[in-house]
Amino acid sequence: MKLRWPRSGGVCPGVTVVIPCYNYGRYLDVAARAVLEQRDVDPRVIIVDDASTDDSLEVARRIAARDRRVNVIAHAQNTGHIATYNDGLAAVTTEFVALISADDIVAPGALGRATRLMLSEPTVGMVYGRPLEFDDAAGPMPASAESARIRRTSCTVWRGREWITVACWRGRSFILSPEVVMRTAAMRDVGPYNPALPHSGDLEYWLRTAARWDVARVNGPVQAMYRVHASNMHLTAFAGMAEDLRHRALAFRGLAAPGAREAVPQHDRLIARAERAIAREALLLAQRELDRGGGVDEASELFRVAGQIRRSSLRGRRGRAVVRRLLRMEGGAPPDLGHRGIEATRRQLDRVRWTVWRHMGVS
């Protein structure tokens, strides 16, 4: 449901941004400054240092020493990112909260837009928007310059179960992470991040939130900037699409956990829908790997993952197609012209889906 953008009520709500940090001291100043310079809100920052071995803790304490709105939590020993998230969130006292990695940046005006939306929609517990990716080499594209091309800002509000249904239908998350702002009451209601899901904890958390609260999206301006670099967690500790797909399935199965299943009566059907979508994606990725002349080992692993998630998927049309391609590649034959043409068409469809996601927040 599309809504007209809410007018400002003159309220300046408190928002705490929790910044977990492990050896990202070089990014802390930029991340904290982007929060503290936010308009239309009363911003606070909690930096949680997870026993970094670089100068992160010293940098965090220097930031706190020059700005009383910044607090630092220092772990005596490394506890991992999930425990670091939960320790920071437990210390929040403001009405709204966000969680961003130390290497990401909150876009100008993002906190005001998100909190204004939640103040006007009391059933909304979580707001996200459009993230902008950038890398260390090129430097960030200023979100203000990008947003200047956006003439109108609107918002979309989904009933929580509607949003869950769309996510299960696609078997994926529509959120990177730093673009999310939550109502602190919703965060307390949902509870801490699940330490059993170190890779897909964000997705499982959004699903748990949507089981209890409505979800909204700011359409138009950039809400956060997501840094892409060689030491990103998803590129190091959890490398590979096969692993991502496995953990994604675990996140959706969390809908059957106590607290979520009571709020989502058709959770079994939705989980099955998500598993079918993820298994289908695994097989499609295997096809694409082979159609562009990629590695047989990578495609075989994706094929195995599809079977682990949903065994019946291997007997379907796409599963049989992967087997034929694997046999062909193992026999030394390269992908034929038709398969290469199919892959070129898929790349065009990727662009269409990206455009839909950019404007709608789901795809």
Q: Give the model confidence (pLDDT) of 175-233 as tens digits.
A: 988 999 999 999 999 999 999 999 899 999 999 999 999 999 999 899 999 988 655 44
Residue 242, pLDDT > 50, answer yes
pLDDT of residue 168 exceeding 90, the answer is yes
Whether 96 and 14 have beta carbons less than 8 Å apart is answered as yes
279 and 131 assigned to the same domain:
no
User: How would you write 88-113 as a 3-class SS string?
Assistant: HHHCCCCCEEEECCCCCEECCCHHHH
Average of per-residue pLDDT across 30-37: 97
Residue 7 predicted with pLDDT over 70: no
Per DSSP, the residues of 252-290 read: HHGGGSTTTTTT-TTHHHHHHHHHHHHHHHHHHHHHHHH
The mean pLDDT of 116-144, rounded to a whole number, is: 82
The verdict on residue 85 lying in a domain is yes
How many structural domains compose the chain? 2
Return the top range by mean pLDDT from 314-318, 325-329, 333-337: 314-318
pLDDT the model gives residue 324:
86
Q: Is residue 355 part of a domain?
A: yes
Is there a single domain that holds both residue 222 and residue 76? yes
Average pLDDT over residues 117-128: 97
Contact present, 12 and 41 (Cβ < 8 Å): yes
Beta bridge partners of 154: 219
Residues 170 and 297 in one domain: no
The answer to whether the CB of 291 falls within 8 A of the CB of 340 is yes
Residue type, 339: H
Which pLDDT belongs to residue 234? 44
93 pLDDT exceeds 90? Answer: yes
What confidence tier does 246 reach under pLDDT thresholds 50, 70, 90?
very high
Nearest CA to 206 out of 236, 229, 186, 221 is that of 186
* Amino acid in the structure at residue 266: Q
Helical (H) or strand (E) element with 216: strand 214-228
- Same-domain pairing of 28 and 140: yes
Residues 304 and 188 placed together within one structural domain of the fold: no
pTM for this one? Answer: 0.86
Note whether residue 254 is domain-resident: no
Strand, coil or helix: what is 181?
Answer: strand
| Residue 252 belongs to some domain of the structure | no
pLDDT at 271 over 60: yes
Whether residue 181 sits in one domain with residue 298: no
User: At residue 22, does pLDDT exceed 90?
Assistant: yes
Among the residue ranges 50-59, 127-136, 337-346, the one predicted with the least confidence is 337-346
> Do residue 33 and residue 170 come from a single domain?
yes
Residue with the two structure tokens 């047989």: 296
Is 225 domain-assigned?
A: yes
* CATH code, 38: 3.90.550.10
Is residue 200 domain-shared with residue 319, that is, in the same domain? no
Give the end of a domain, one of 196, 229, 262: 229
What pLDDT, on the 0 to 100 scale, is given for residue 343?
65
Q: Please tell me whether residues 282 and 219 are part of one structural domain.
A: no
Question: How many Å apart are CA 208 and CA 306, to the nearest integer?
Answer: 25
Residues 202-235 as b/e (b if ≥16 CB within 10 A, e otherwise) read bbbbbbbbbbbbbbbbbbbbbbbbbbeeeeeeee
Kindly state whether residues 141 and 74 are assigned to the same domain. Answer: yes
Ramachandran angles phi, psi of 310, nearest 5°: -155, 100
In whole angstroms, what is the distance from residue 200 CA to residue 203 CA?
Answer: 5
Residues 187 and 130 placed together within one structural domain of the fold: yes
| Burial per residue of 297-324, b for 16 or more beta-carbon CB atoms within 10 angstroms, e otherwise | ebbbbbbebbbebbeebbeeebbebbee
Give yes or no for a contact between 160 and 215, defined as CB atoms under 8 angstroms apart: yes
Average pLDDT value for residue range 134-151: 56
What the block records as the tokens of 21 is: 């940090």
Question: Does any domain span residue 27?
Answer: yes
Shared domain for 174 and 287, answered yes or no, is no
What does the radius of gyration of the chain's CA atoms come to, in whole angstroms?
21
Residues recorded for the chain = 363
The C-alpha torsion from 158 through 159 and 160 to 162, rounded to 10°, is -80
Structural domain of 295: 275-360
Residue 150 vs residues 146, 153, 173, 286, 318: alpha-carbon distances, Å:
8, 7, 25, 38, 40
What pLDDT does residue 237 have? 36
* Domain assignment present for 263: no
Residue 158, in any domain of the structure: yes
Mean pLDDT for all residues in the chain? 87
Q: Of 103, 49, 61, whose CA–CA distance to 233 is shortest?
A: 103
Give the Cα separation of 300 and 253 in Å (integer). 24
Last residue of a domain, one of 175, 194, 229: 229
C-alpha span between 88 and 204 (Å, rounded): 19
Among 17-26, 243-252, 271-280, 335-344, the range scoring the smallest mean pLDDT is: 335-344
